[in-house]
Structure 1
Amino acid sequence: MPNARPVPTVRRRRLGEALRQFRIQAGPGAKGLTLEEAVEEVIRRDKQAGGDGGTWAPSKLSRIETAKARIRPAEVTQLLTAYGLDAKQDDGIFTALEGLAKHASQQGWWQTYRGVVSPAYADYISLESDAEGIRIWSPQLIPGLLQTAAYARETITVNATTRTPEEVVALAEVRMARQAVLSRPERPLKLRAIIDERVLHQRVATRPTLMRDQLRRLLDAADLPNVTLQIMPLTSSLHPGTSGGFSLVGFPDPMPDVVLLENLVGASYVEADGEARIYADAFEQVVASALPSDMSLALITRILEEGNGK
């Protein structure tokens, strides 16, 4: 049965959390302004400007912060101003959060595939399209943004065991379309991927050229100025990445990183700023344990030349 039309709830959650943090920072003490105090300040300022206070209420602000209600860009401006931010001095913050409000319910190109793209996957694609950069530790597979179409079909077939052949093809098309973020004309996505060396030695008996083509794809992608590729060697020391793979999706200030964790039944997100920083620190330790980029590319080339990718 096709999925219902997905709502980009991750965008709303990011916006709500950012507004909540600015509310907390605006008041004295660790708890900052209460919902009631924040609404009173918004209404006071609106009336001073000749308005009637609008429809503001503590319950409305609570629903906005918990991603249960939409908010218009003009209302974002009201809140940020009430929290003491200046539209000229803090124009980057205003632009980022107003833009997030504007596009919170926007549906992207992936809606063409809404019959096979789950709401959680649609959420991730919207995050990826908004992102400034992504850092990936991938101990099991080539990351989706660096896969060939053939590799994508094989890995989707293995992992999406309940999918029909037609759905596998459609999901592979989605994965290929996602790669456009690496070459978009404005703000191409900055990708830093660390791949375990074991992944480079994988075999598909029925597709003898699959890994050879995939290794060439990695080398081609590494030529892009916005792509950094590292390999975790078989001889690496223990590091925090041994607990599993993860992706850190980064955004321009003031938006915090979002961490993606994947498994066979779907994906989950780590959105709390403190927890995301734990993954960011872990990623730096993974980086330190991996081969430098030039040595990583030399290793891929050597495996390709030795015929291990055939």
Structure 2
Amino acid sequence: MSYLICSSHTWRMVSTPTVRRRRVGAELRRIREAAGMTLEDAAKVLECSISKISRMETGHVKARVRDIRELLDAYGLADEQRRNALLNLARNADQQDWWIDFSDVLSSLAQHYLSLESDAAWFCCFQPLVVPGLLQTEDYARAVISAGQIEETPEKVEKRVGIRMARQEILFRPNPVRLWVVLDEAVLRREVGGREVMRGQLKRLADAAVMPNITLQVLPYEVGAHAGIDGPFVLIGFPEREDPDVVFLENMTSSLYLENNEAVYRYKLAFDHIRAEALSPRRSEELIRKLAKEFV
């Protein structure tokens, strides 16, 4: 899928297909294979390289509508409904989303993450440092962003805060994303933005904990070493079974996406161990409400 290669001064994106491109490519591959044709056969149809067909099928390059029509004809696909659905998906594969207006503060990698996030069906998140962005209050987000973006102007900080708040819409839409979060106890006790900000943030977490699409747990100090000791991570799943689950890792200077089956399995296993050692959702909510009262 996709990786960000980073040196001290150079950022290079090595393929970051959107979910829609990946879906178009996967469908093209299924239709080609059902027709008994090889990559080489498809390349002859478009008079192009095998590499181009391969990259179309993995979503690393956009498949042009004209090319798709030619391939579907060659594959003998007569199902008009299926043809039209695929062509419409291809037309919308690169549609501009709301965050395009914030390209001055969002890297291409960040925009790619927002694309994955908006198309996701569920998230499993372990966070030992700060409250995840989808559950942050505006004041808490402002404090976190200001601390992490020390060279940003106040105007750009406010833009980033606005983006973070807009992202949370996926929790409240008619078909909301499902979110399972495990927070290290340190997240609840680290004072970010002042005591009033923390009190408001903890109340927000407690309220989120009772939402039907959110499961929130706290990993207490007493657990000691645990399966997430190496740092935060996010598992992302999508509505279509054909779209592989993704692991998202991030640090100060780079980010990484993994969709290799073995890597994803290892992180799923780690998350299972972490949530098994964490407090139950009910006890976690009680602890959060108790700590909120201490920030007075």
Q: TM-score range by the shorter chain?
A: 0.7 to 0.9
Paired residues for 1:112-123 under 5 Å: 112-123=101-112
| Amino acid in structure 1 at the alignment position of 2:222 | T
| Amino acid in structure 2 at the alignment position of 1:11 | V
In structure 2, do the counterparts of structure 1 residues 103 and 282 end up closer, same or farther at CA, with 3 Å as the change threshold?
A: farther
| Amino acid in structure 1 at the alignment position of 2:93 | A
Structure 2 unaligned regions, length at least 5:
1-14
- Alignment correspondent of 1:11: 19
Deviations 1:240-285 (A, max 9, x none): 2111110011102111111111111132211223322221222111
Q: Secondary structure, in 3 states, of the residue corresponding to 2:228?
A: helix
In structure 2, do the counterparts of structure 1 residues 140 and 27 end up closer, same or farther at CA, with 3 Å as the change threshold?
A: farther
Q: Does 1:240 align with 2:218?
A: no
Distance apart, 1:74 and its partner CA = 8.3
Normalised by the size of structure 1, how large is the TM-score? 0.77
- Alignment correspondent of 1:35: 39
Deviations 1:10-57 (A, max 9, x none): 4367448746975998699xxxx75214556xx5xxxxxxxxxx5665
In structure 2, do the counterparts of structure 1 residues 16 and 302 end up closer, same or farther at CA, with 3 Å as the change threshold?
A: same
Distance apart, 1:151 and its partner CA = 0.4
In structure 2, do the counterparts of structure 1 residues 116 and 283 end up closer, same or farther at CA, with 3 Å as the change threshold?
A: same
- Alignment correspondent of 2:183: 195
| Amino acid in structure 1 at the alignment position of 2:128 | P
Q: Does the 8 Å contact 1:23/1:38 carry over to 2?
A: no
Residues in 2 aligned to 1:292 and 1:135: alpha-carbon distance in whole angstroms: 16
Residues in 2 aligned to 1:258 and 1:76: alpha-carbon distance in whole angstroms: 27
- Alignment correspondent of 1:159: 148
Residues in 2 aligned to 1:10 and 1:286: alpha-carbon distance in whole angstroms: 30
In structure 2, do the counterparts of structure 1 residues 108 and 234 end up closer, same or farther at CA, with 3 Å as the change threshold?
A: same
| Amino acid in structure 2 at the alignment position of 1:284 | D
Normalised by the size of structure 2, how large is the TM-score? 0.81
Q: Does 1:288 align with 2:246?
A: no
The ranges of structure 1 where at least 4 consecutive aligned residues each deviate by more than 6 angstroms after the TM superposition are: 23-28, 73-88
Number of residue pairs matched by the alignment: 280
| Amino acid in structure 2 at the alignment position of 1:36 | E
In structure 2, do the counterparts of structure 1 residues 17 and 289 end up closer, same or farther at CA, with 3 Å as the change threshold?
A: farther
Q: Secondary structure, in 3 states, of the residue corresponding to 2:269?
A: helix
Q: Does 1:299 align with 2:287?
A: yes
In structure 2, do the counterparts of structure 1 residues 130 and 228 end up closer, same or farther at CA, with 3 Å as the change threshold?
A: same
Of 203, 211, 225 in structure 1, the residue corresponding to residue 198 of structure 2 is 211
Deviations 1:200-258 (A, max 9, x none): 01114x63201100001011222321111111111115322111110011102111111
Q: Secondary structure, in 3 states, of the residue corresponding to 2:236?
A: strand
Moved more, 169-178 or 111-120: 111-120
- Alignment correspondent of 2:7: none
